Structure 1
Amino acid sequence: MPPERTTPPSISELAQRRLSRRTALAGGLATAAASFFAAAPKASARAEGLLGFPAIPPSSADEVVLPPGYRYQVLFPWGQPIVPSGPAFAEDASNSAADQARQAGDHHDGMWFFPFTGGGGRAGLLCVNHEATTEQLLHPDGRAAWTPEKTAKSQAAHGVSVIEVKRDRLGGGWHLAESKFARRITMTTPAEITGPAAGHPWLRTSADPEGVRVLGTLNNCASGPTPWRTYLTCEETINKYFYHGEQPPRPGSPEDRYGIGSEAPYPWYTTESRFDMRAEPNEYNRFGWVVEIDPFDPESTPKKRTALGRMEHENAVVVRGRSGEAVVYMGDDTQFDYFYKFVGAEPIDQARAEGRSPLDEGTLYVARFEADGSGRWLPLVHGEPGLTAADGFAGQAEVLIHTRLAADAVGATPMDRPEWCTVQPGTGAVFFTCTNNTARTESVDAANPRLNNRYGHILKIDEGGDPAAGRFDWDIFLLAGDQASGATVPADQAFGSPDGLWFDAAGRLWIQTDGTQPLVDGAAQNNQMLAADPETGEIRRFLVGPRRCEITGITSTPDGRSLFVNIQHPGDSGTPDNPRASSNWPDFPPAGRPRSATIVVTRADGGVVGGR
């Protein structure tokens, strides 16, 4: 059995010593860390920098709010058919599971726009993740009297949509097209397990004794495109779907480390035995992977790439290394978990030319942040100290299936909910979000400098232009929150819980939020999206979403004139008796319900979104 999780023994002490040498410890370690590490945004003249729009104020309205001169179009809400001829959405949620399998899923999250070659960016395929469902709104009577049909509909509302979208003219609206490419990948879509863990006994079930085939993908959080024009979708919070029994797992066990409890919020196990761990103890090992989808081949089988490790994958950013290999940056979205990097074993072009995946062979690393501003990528390779058979890892497959325990064993740095990452154009610097961590109540470290970190922060690492490097320098780009929390953003641009993160082609850093926002005049505010200029440190609020939503998922056309953004679970406090309790966005029908949706943001003058 792999060892119980450990924490690097001296990082807080190292941070204390470093900070005491360089800055007064007035106010404690958190204050010192903020003053030393944070690259506090500097004021800049409005005529300078990358941000060409006026900042908007916070909002608690049930609407998407944008700067003057901007507009949005609701393109792809939950329940819209993936082709115009598909089954229409029923406002009372009475669509069947079969209908749902041909409609947009729920809880839109990460996505990517793949333009058609030669189309000028006015047409292409949009891949959209559907992370989860609001069951109280998915069915007319919510969770009451659970049935196999409800399980089937819930499963059909998870997964991925591939749709073809078009813009008829510059300045015109976007629409879905009848398309040979359009399809849904759901929890009943056959997928293949590939890489070092494929076929391992821990992946075998009664339905798949070989451990290489699995039905479906779930909790599809964020995503990333590959240089070879495929789509990576990331399986995140898998523990919600598997029932362990009345007794929780043994403390320190792999099930405990992956968050399996004595309850399953999704009652699929009541109608389908593969989600009951008493019947199929290995099924949950078959989820928590990065899944590769070819959007241009509707007959292709999704591939679960096990070389990238098993965790609560948030997103996956792929770049080419200096030798042409695939390098993938990833976060594991749980309090006190880690940032990871995968480096392929051979150049992308060579692997593909010889019929191999660039993502099936290589080395997975986990990040350790040192107090002096340096860092190391620790290899998660069987046989390394802590990862031997004596430590409970019989081979590389066990290291990958139990990635979290392997990262614990080598002494990675536990982070404040590591989520999205993105790579800065030109410099190759990697930015990571730490969304928040209210469970950090006893100790801080240099990379996580605040106790009760309600508002989160963003880290920046520099690998010297070599994505495959084993070492890096790091700094804190910003501390989110209000001034009372030690934030390094201007008071009028205060925000909390950074989650989604993406650089556009011009170098603007877009920041999306999911969670606690600073109060304004004592009132709660909605989640938002901001843009930052990394060179000047300037940051401006660009978009605020409707009530109780998360802002997530972002991609654009190559010319930057259309920006796709996802609005996830607006009004998620609604009930079957009162579905519009907190929101009725985006349609506001008197008898309808709120719907997650993809929107398209454009400028009235046709210019580049966010630019001058």
Structure 2
Amino acid sequence: MSAERAVFPQVDPDDVSSNPSGNRPFREVLHGRMSRRDTLLGGTAAAAAFLVGGALAGAGTAAAAEPAARGPHTPAKPGRPGRKELLGFAPVPPSSADTFTVPEGYETQVLIPWGTPIRPGGPAWRKDGSNTAEEQAEQIGMNHDGMHFFPLGRGSEGNRRGMLVLNHEYIDAQLLYPDGDEEMTAEKVRKALEAHGVSAVEIESVDGRWRVVDSPRARRVTGNTPVTFSGPVRADHPALRASGPARGTLNNCAHGFTPWGTYLTCEENWNGYFGTEDTSWRPTAEQARYGVSARGFGYRWHLADPRFDVAVNANELNRFGWVVEIDPMDPRSVPVKRTALGRIKHEGITLTESRGRIVGYTGDDQDGDYIYKFVGEGTWRSQRARGRSPLDHGRLYVARFDDDGTGTWLPLVHGEGPLTKKNGWADQTDVLLRTRQAADALGATKMDRPEWIAVNPRNKDVYCALTNGSGWEGEANPRTPNPYGHIIRWAEAKGDNTATTFRWDIFVLAGDPAYDDRVKLDDSNIFGSPDGLWFDDDGRLWIQTDISNSAQNLVARGYDRIANNMMLAADPRTGEIRRFLTGPRGCEITGVVTTPDRRTMFVNVQHPGEASAAWGRPTPENPRAVSNWPDFDPAGRPRSATVVIRRTDGGVIGG
């Protein structure tokens, strides 16, 4: 099988860059970094180079790392006597079947598929898609994504009972409505809004089976829920004045959670919900930078609801693109959009703590956009003691990656560098409302779609999934285009996540070596388009994939041997990666968390049965054209769902 057999797309048709800046792309930086090396390494040898020499290279990387100074948090060398191996399962093979597969010795249970009542006795799911908007508001939303488990009770009680809170990224109109979306109505818009957002349900395990229980904490936060704003951009800011009160959260992708027990949901491709029929309308420079267009993503909500007509109600746009904080224990609390974290297409936000201060990492998920970091002002405990949110006070930074394997966090602070009144920046609220343009002005490094970010609990190194990219003019490294993506990691100076400098390298170059001999993976772990990343407390890195349905399973896209989307586990100490599960046709695997004892895992299967170049397109007449998972009802339709995974011997997941 030759590399020429795969015809790589020039761009991911699901993601087109809206970054017109002349900032240096990461492709050029990476080429400069890797061209300095003399030796090619892959697999565990490269991981050993990282661990011994201190630089950041890992399984499947294209080249060995240069030495880098490390602090006292350097992890142990691979193969250290007495150290237990992290990966104790046999890898599953790739799959193109309409099934959910886990390793031998594991069992699964489908929990809370789309349409499940959030309380027992609530409106029942109708398999023909005929539930009303009012009913959908009391049911689990569509297209599950980021997720967190909040234990209820101490000790073992917290391992069998808790609040499961999860995002719902978007809707599929061919599956949401009995008749599709050929005709758009106000009721269809309302139902779609109620299918978005966040679900919070109380669950418990009884005799090894998990179930939803009746709970006063259960709630839905949807596209119609009242919200407020906090931080530098207040709710009464002129840019947020639109028709009607501020409502809702949309395109809720990945998530985060705080040490004070709240959930953070992140608004990603919010621009796509807006459109207009006004042929005279043209986007402003700011709107164009965020990808706003007359057509949007084709939802056509503006035909039935002027709230989404960008020519009529332009400021409604400014109410989206934020990180939203939700209290899972108080169903009466109002979700708060934390504006100090910037307005971008947030994939997710991962919080860690350094010297008592909150540090939040977030990626802007669009081809050619950036990686950001928020550093809280003072310790988070002191901020809360004063009645202030730690997420409202601090500095936002954007990353620049340099050729020599170093990097710098550039402050997005009004009055510093180019962000001055003389250069057209009115104040800090202006910087936060136009975060992308501010980052452009600072010279941040363009990245191949920054997705989830995870922090290693063992040493505080930071990992970011770069799903794929269109490539840039000039020499390509690792690839131009980059249809498979890669995972980057960096170590902050002196192991301090509040630092403004870091050292970086590539952890793994994804793909299939049958098409690209720079990839150092094999049949037990080939994968593409890394998306979700999460560390468990033992230090396993869980990697979830989101291969576009325009490429999934296709020879012409180089994804035939990789097949359906999957989740893998990696040992960062050794660089070893193994495939842990595969999902059904047309799906994305996203969202993962365990109970505190790590003996129950929750994983989300998003959009099974979505239109696929390999399998076809669902229609109102045949919603099962691509998948019929998980119900396999001959009169039903595919449904996103959370899957519970347990070891049959009751052991730790992955061990």
What is the distance in 2 between the residues matched to 1:303 and 1:50? 38
What is the distance in 1 between the residues matched to 2:608 and 2:448? 25
Q: Which residue pairs with 1:29 in the alignment?
A: none
What is the distance in 2 between the residues matched to 1:508 and 1:268? 42
- 5+ residue gaps, structure 1, are 26-31, 209-213
What is the distance in 2 between the residues matched to 1:444 and 1:298? 53
What is the distance in 2 between the residues matched to 1:18 and 1:409? 24
Structure 1 window deviating more from structure 2 (335-344 vs 250-259): it is 250-259
Which of 631, 639, 644 pairs up with 1:587? 631
Aligned 8 A contact 2:540 2:570 in 1: yes
What is the distance in 2 between the residues matched to 1:291 and 1:406? 21
Q: Which residue pairs with 2:98 in the alignment?
A: 62
Structure 1 window deviating more from structure 2 (344-353 vs 574-583): it is 344-353
Which of 330, 342, 352 pairs up with 1:319? 352
- 1:272 partnered with 2:305: yes
Aligned 8 A contact 2:149 2:594 in 1: yes
Which of 5, 21, 31 pairs up with 1:6? 21
Q: Which residue pairs with 1:34 in the alignment?
A: 62
Residues 1:9 and 1:148: Cα distance change in structure 2 (over 3 Å): closer
Aligned 8 A contact 2:552 2:563 in 1: yes
- 1:83 partnered with 2:119: yes
Residues 1:509 and 1:444: Cα distance change in structure 2 (over 3 Å): farther
Question: Which structure 2 residues correspond to residues 208-607 of structure 1 after superposition, within 5 A?
Answer: 208=245, 214-246=246-278, 253-264=285-296, 265-322=298-355, 324-437=356-469, 439-443=470-474, 449-463=478-492, 464-483=494-513, 484-485=515-516, 486-515=518-547, 516=551, 522=560, 525-573=563-611, 574-607=618-651
Q: Which residue pairs with 1:154 in the alignment?
A: 192
Residues 1:227 and 1:97: Cα distance change in structure 2 (over 3 Å): same
Classify the secondary structure of the residue corresponding to 2:578: strand
Classify the secondary structure of the residue corresponding to 1:142: coil
Aligned 8 A contact 2:162 2:204 in 1: yes
Q: Which residue pairs with 2:56 in the alignment?
A: none
Q: In the alignment, residue 116 of structure 1 is paired with which amino acid?
A: L
TM-score (norm 1): 0.92
Residues 1:383 and 1:462: Cα distance change in structure 2 (over 3 Å): same
Classify the secondary structure of the residue corresponding to 1:35: coil
- 1:22 partnered with 2:60: no
User: Deviations for 1:384-409, whole angstroms, at most 9, x for unmatched residues?
Assistant: 22211232211111110111111111
User: Deviations for 1:52-78, whole angstroms, at most 9, x for unmatched residues?
Assistant: 100110001101011111111011100
Q: In the alignment, residue 228 of structure 2 is paired with which amino acid?
A: E
Residues 1:410 and 1:55: Cα distance change in structure 2 (over 3 Å): same
Residues 1:458 and 1:215: Cα distance change in structure 2 (over 3 Å): same
Residues 1:444 and 1:598: Cα distance change in structure 2 (over 3 Å): farther
What is the distance in 1 between the residues matched to 2:644 and 2:28? 48
- How far 1:270 moved relative to its partner? 1.4
- How far 1:355 moved relative to its partner? 1.1
Q: Which residue pairs with 2:231 in the alignment?
A: 195
Classify the secondary structure of the residue corresponding to 2:483: coil
- 1:206 partnered with 2:243: yes
Q: In the alignment, residue 476 of structure 1 is paired with which amino acid?
A: I
User: Deviations for 1:339-361, whole angstroms, at most 9, x for unmatched residues?
Assistant: 10001112111111111100011
Q: Which residue pairs with 1:28 in the alignment?
A: none
Aligned 8 A contact 1:163 1:181 in 2: yes
TM-score (norm 2): 0.86
- How far 1:376 moved relative to its partner? 0.5
User: Deviations for 1:301-350, whole angstroms, at most 9, x for unmatched residues?
Assistant: 0000000001110111111121x121100001000101100011121111
Aligned 8 A contact 1:224 1:231 in 2: yes
- How far 1:442 moved relative to its partner? 1.5
What is the distance in 1 between the residues matched to 2:560 and 2:638? 26
What is the distance in 2 between the residues matched to 1:38 and 1:130? 42
What is the distance in 2 between the residues matched to 1:72 and 1:280? 46
Aligned 8 A contact 1:80 1:103 in 2: yes
Residues 1:434 and 1:10: Cα distance change in structure 2 (over 3 Å): closer
What is the distance in 2 between the residues matched to 1:560 and 1:4? 41
Give the total of aligned pairs.
589
What is the distance in 1 between the residues matched to 2:599 and 2:325? 28
- 5+ residue gaps, structure 2, are 1-17, 41-59, 68-76, 612-617
Q: Which residue pairs with 2:48 in the alignment?
A: none
What is the distance in 1 between the residues matched to 2:507 and 2:32? 22
Aligned 8 A contact 1:248 1:261 in 2: no
Q: Root-mean-square deviation (CA), in Å?
A: 2.5
Q: Which residue pairs with 2:177 in the alignment?
A: 139
What is the distance in 2 between the residues matched to 1:60 and 1:13? 35
Residues 1:411 and 1:577: Cα distance change in structure 2 (over 3 Å): same
Aligned 8 A contact 2:105 2:647 in 1: yes
Residues 1:363 and 1:70: Cα distance change in structure 2 (over 3 Å): same
